[in-house]
Amino acid sequence: MRKEVQGNMKEKPFDASLFVEIRKRLGMDVINAMNEKIASLKMQKDRDRDRERHCIQSEG
């Protein structure tokens, strides 16, 4: 059991083995597709942020 770290949380919100069970049920193809989508969205977000910073610097 987890001791109080911050706030009122005294117990683990879930057991780490839950991730193993989810991964087994979904299968590696689905997990890989999810990872690729997450990475793609992150790269797009970074590009958008960089473009926005470039525009702000160009205006200033």
In the chain, where are the structural domains located? 17-59
DSSP annotation of 13 reads: S
DSSP annotation of 4: P
With cut-offs at 50, 70 and 90, classify the pLDDT of residue 3: low
> Using one digit for the tens of pLDDT, what is the confidence trace for 6-58?
667 778 888 889 989 999 999 999 999 999 999 999 999 999 999 988 887 77
Residue 51 amino acid letter:
R
Prediction pTM value:
0.58
12 CB contacts (<8 Å, ≥6 apart)?
1, 2
Q: Which residue is it, tokens 């969205």?
A: 41
Dihedrals phi, psi of 27, to nearest 5 degrees: 90, 155
Q: What is the pLDDT of residue 31?
A: 95
Q: If you count DSSP H runs as helices and E runs as strands, how many of each does the chain have, helices first?
A: 2, 0
